[in-house]
């Protein structure tokens, strides 16, 4: 096997031999998708023409297995592929050619997408992709269509056709930009018909397609093409001066990492508020050398204005990013904010003008006009998406765009897709239909919620509860390990998502673990700044952290334990709310703060004087903070009572102590579970509802208070105590 420098040849003959034909297609797809240099997330597709037994006739029939609509090659399984009768797809050509209204971007062309479902083999429910004709109309059995940065660099060069000939000789043909669909499939079919020696086709402004009648040869040839393109580009790139002179050389210098972190933390929540004027967005920060070389360069402003090239890039990145010409060496945070504000306003106007200029009578209504990619010299890139995964995909795509521009500018001049063509993809009726088919967003979608005390008990339960509703959850605890453990449970359940991007903590998934000590303002601030770097900002905070320090046998509590109790249960909650208020105000988006008090706040008892008094203060803190933080933030409290199960406040010793106190029979060697159950039932019997209270019961109340279901409620405390009449609030 020849050696590769710019891609990895991963094919394993033994593995391939162990799979059936459709399984081998999935295997080939996963291998191709696993390398970002071969294709981007969600981009490209693969196919195999496989002989199957027709369930209707029992006879052999040729079936096209092709990656269906949606999905991603790296993570694809068999379910992501559609299967279609190949002869029926070919037969559709007569149907299409008979249409008087045929032609590129015609209704006839779009109609063929829906017609393809009549060719479904064996009731496969996967909708076929708009690229299906490309795979069907090219005769060989195995076809790969990829979006490699190195190939797109050639595809997005001013002299693409000439360069293709120069680099690949006659074996790679060229087809000019055409929106994917029936016409592109027909054009490719014609190229293959006229020149049987052609092994691949360069697709202008888009990517390439390659094929073979042997599956491994198809895979290998796809890699060969990318290797050849990359080698050509890198040679020219190095000859031109490489990294030192790329994009016209550096105009600004990168700031030191700690300075970048401080500036990002200072700007992100504000920027999130600005771009979330219609719907809230989740941010991803990219600050590696590659992106910094671009944003710092002399050509960044010019190239950014040209926009991205690959059609499936700008559905996420929008027609162009917002580049702000801020001097990181001479200007400060306030100047950056001012320039960003002006830039955002200009961007929205530009976007509206682009829409007005390019729209057709049938075009869908204008969508959110805010940029999804923001480029700042000295700092890096900020990408926005409806959730963390989408936001990482957006960042990944602009990373790809930068790579494409680097390659294109090394060998030629970078050109972007003409605006009208970009518009006709962005506002394509078929894309609109896809958006409309998407399931409704979850109740807490687009929200970032911090749960302090998420390492155990009610906090852990609440973190899980809100993540189920679509919230991004920041799990905060005194110990990094316990915070991480809850975040990992959530991420394992939901998956990391698909985009491959994000620097440091910003590469996180739907949950992240952070340390935080609520009695220390600096620690709280550091935690909130990390949240900004991870997600761009936050919407709500839930504080479940609390301490219970029992009095000694004489009923006395030492002074330091009294202070400690008040410090955590009262001052800590105050510090969190007071410090977070600064960020909430910067962000300017409505939020929720939920504190934890207790039934003990209104029921004086023997043996818990510090705890009970601190919780009484916490009840009033809820009311005071509700006034302080209005109208931006609603502040409420949850007052749980004696949740024994899963509570960090009820270690075995305390359970035994309580059993003894209430004269409940138990034995020293009894399992903790059994002891906990006994105590929980004893407490339950004292309530009106007579059932033990679980962390899940509590989590429901926190969820309600961060949702919009009680959107007119603030300054209130909800009890979840099973009904303790002595604790009724009055």
Residues that bind Zn ion (CB under 5 A): 207
Closest to Zn ion by CB, 310 or 629: 310
Q: Angle, to 10 degrees, between the axis of helix 86-97 and the axis of helix 182-194?
A: 100
The least CB distance from residue 513 to Zn ion, in Å, is 38
The least CB distance from residue 39 to Zn ion, in Å, is 9
C-alpha dist (Å) from residue 464 to 433, 459, 485, 489, 693: 33, 9, 12, 8, 18
The least CB distance from residue 63 to Zn ion, in Å, is 22
C-alpha dist (Å) from residue 518 to 523, 525, 586, 598: 7, 10, 21, 18
Closest CA relative to residue 36, chosen from 406, 381, 498: 498
Closest to Zn ion by CB, 207 or 536: 207
C-alpha dist (Å) from residue 56 to 53, 82, 121, 155, 182: 9, 18, 10, 44, 28
d(CA 373, CA 395): 7
Annotate 415-470 with DSSP letters as a single string.
-PPPHHHHHHHHT-HHHHHHHHHSPPPPTTTT-EEEEETTTSHHHHHHHHHHHHTT
Closest to Zn ion by CB, 191 or 341: 191
**Secondary structure of residue 290 in the 3-state scheme:** helix
The least CB distance from residue 104 to Zn ion, in Å, is 16
Closest to Zn ion by CB, 71 or 207: 207
d(CA 103, CA 181): 10
- Please state, as a whole number, how many other Cβ atoms lie within 10 Å of the Cβ of residue 561: 16
d(CA 233, CA 533): 34
φ/ψ of residue 637, rounded to 5: -130, 155
Closest to Zn ion by CB, 276 or 317: 317
Closest to Zn ion by CB, 378 or 499: 499
Alpha carbon distance, N-terminus to C-terminus of the chain: 81
Closest to Zn ion by CB, 148 or 507: 148
**Secondary structure of residue 5 in the 3-state scheme:** coil
Closest CA relative to residue 506, chosen from 382, 377, 375, 398: 382
Closest to Zn ion by CB, 207 or 321: 207
The least CB distance from residue 72 to Zn ion, in Å, is 13
Q: Which residue sits closest to Zn ion, CB atoms considered?
A: 207
The least CB distance from residue 53 to Zn ion, in Å, is 32
**Which residues have a Cβ under 8 Å from the Cβ of 522 and sit 6 or more positions away?**
none
Determine how β-strand 373-376 pairs with β-strand 380-385. antiparallel
The two tokens of residue 370 are 């805010």
Catalytic position from the list 27, 354, 574, 611: 611
The two tokens of residue 183 are 């016409």
Q: Is 611 a catalytic residue?
A: yes
The least CB distance from residue 44 to Zn ion, in Å, is 6
The least CB distance from residue 155 to Zn ion, in Å, is 10
Q: Which residues are known catalytic residues?
A: 611
């Amino acid at each position: 096997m020849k050696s590769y420098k710019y891609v990895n040849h991963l094919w394993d003959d033994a593995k391939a031999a162990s799979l059936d034909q459709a399984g081998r297609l999935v295997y080939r797809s996963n291998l191709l998708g696993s390398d970002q240099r071969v294709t981007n997330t969600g981009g490209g597709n693969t196919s195999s023409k496989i002989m199957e037994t027709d369930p209707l006739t029992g006879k052999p029939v040729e079936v096209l297995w092709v990656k269906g609509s949606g999905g991603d090659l790296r993570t694809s399984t068999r379910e992501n592929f559609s299967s279609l009768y190949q002869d029926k797809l070919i037969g559709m050509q007569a149907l299409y050619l008979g249409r008087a209204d045929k032609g590129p971007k015609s209704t006839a062309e779009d109609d063929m997408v829906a017609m393809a479902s009549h060719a479904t083999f064996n009731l496969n429910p996967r909708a076929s992709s708009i690229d299906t004709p490309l795979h069907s109309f090219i005769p060989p059995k195995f076809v790969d269509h990829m979006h490699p940065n190195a190939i797109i660099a050639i595809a997005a060069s001013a002299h693409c056709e000439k360069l293709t000939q120069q680099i690949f000789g006659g074996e790679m043909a060229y087809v000019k930009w055409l929106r994917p669909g029936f016409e592109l499939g027909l054009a490719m079919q014609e190229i293959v018909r006229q020149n049987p020696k052609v092994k691949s086709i360069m697709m202008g402004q888009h990517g390439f397609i390659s094929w073979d009648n042997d599956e491994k040869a198809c895979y290998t040839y796809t890699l060969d093409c990318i290797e050849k393109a990359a080698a050509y580009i890198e040679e020219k790139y190095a000859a031109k001066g490489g990294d030192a002179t790329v994009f016209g050389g550096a105009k600004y210098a990168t700031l030191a990492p700690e300075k970048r972190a401080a500036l990002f933390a200072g700007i992100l929540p504000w920027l999130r508020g600005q771009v979330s004027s219609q719907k809230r967005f989740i941010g991803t920060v990219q600050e590696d050398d590659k992106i910094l070389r671009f944003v710092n360069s002399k050509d960044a402003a010019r190239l950014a204005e040209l926009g991205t090239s690959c059609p499936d890039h700008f559905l996420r990145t929008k027609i162009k990013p917002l580049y702000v010409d801020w001097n990181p060496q001479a200007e400060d945070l306030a100047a950056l904010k001012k320039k960003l504000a002006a830039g955002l306003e200009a961007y929205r106007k530009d976007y509206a003008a682009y829409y007005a200029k390019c729209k057709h009578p049938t075009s869908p209504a204008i969508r959110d006009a805010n940029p999804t990619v923001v480029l700042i010299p000295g700092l890096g890139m900020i990408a926005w998406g409806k959730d963390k995964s989408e936001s990482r995909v957006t960042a990944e795509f602009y990373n790809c765009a930068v790579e494409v521009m680097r390659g294109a500018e090394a060998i030629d001049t970078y050109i972007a897709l003409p605006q009208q063509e970009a518009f006709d993809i962005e506002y394509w009726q078929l894309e609109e239909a896809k958006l409309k088919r998407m399931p409704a967003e979850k109740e807490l979608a687009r929200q970032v919620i911090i749960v302090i005390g998420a390492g155990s008990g009610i906090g852990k339960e609440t973190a899980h509860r809100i993540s189920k509703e679509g919230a991004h959850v920041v799990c905060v605890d005194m110990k990094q390990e316990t915070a991480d453990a809850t975040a990992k449970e959530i991420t394992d359940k939901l998956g990391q998502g698909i985009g491959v991007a994000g620097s440091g903590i910003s590469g996180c998934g739907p949950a992240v673990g952070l340390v935080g000590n609520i009695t220390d303002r600096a620690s709280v601030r550091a935690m909130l700044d990390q949240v900004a770097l991870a997600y761009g900002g936050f919407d709500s905070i839930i504080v479940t952290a609390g301490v219970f320090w029992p009095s000694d046998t004489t009923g006395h509590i030492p002074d330091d334990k009294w202070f400690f109790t008040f410090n955590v249960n009262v001052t800590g909650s105050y510090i969190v709310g007071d410090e977070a208020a600064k960020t909430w105000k910067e962000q300017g988006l409505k939020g929720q703060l939920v504190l934890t008090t207790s039934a003990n706040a209104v029921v004086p008892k023997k043996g818990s004087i510090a705890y009970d008094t601190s919780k009484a203060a916490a009840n009033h803190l809820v009311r005071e903070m509700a006034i302080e933080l209005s109208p931006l933030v609603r502040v409420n409290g949850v007052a749980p009572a004696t949740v024994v199960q899963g509570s960090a406040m009820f270690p075995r010793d305390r359970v035994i102590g309580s059993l003894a106190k209430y004269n409940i029979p138990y034995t020293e060697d009894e399992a903790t579970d059994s002891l906990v159950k006994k105590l929980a039932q004893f407490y339950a019997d004292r309530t009106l509802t007579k059932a033990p209270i679980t962390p899940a019961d509590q989590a429901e109340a926190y969820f309600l208070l961060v949702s919009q279901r009680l959107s007119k409620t603030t300054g209130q405390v909800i009890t979840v105590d099973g009904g303790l009449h002595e604790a009724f609030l009055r």
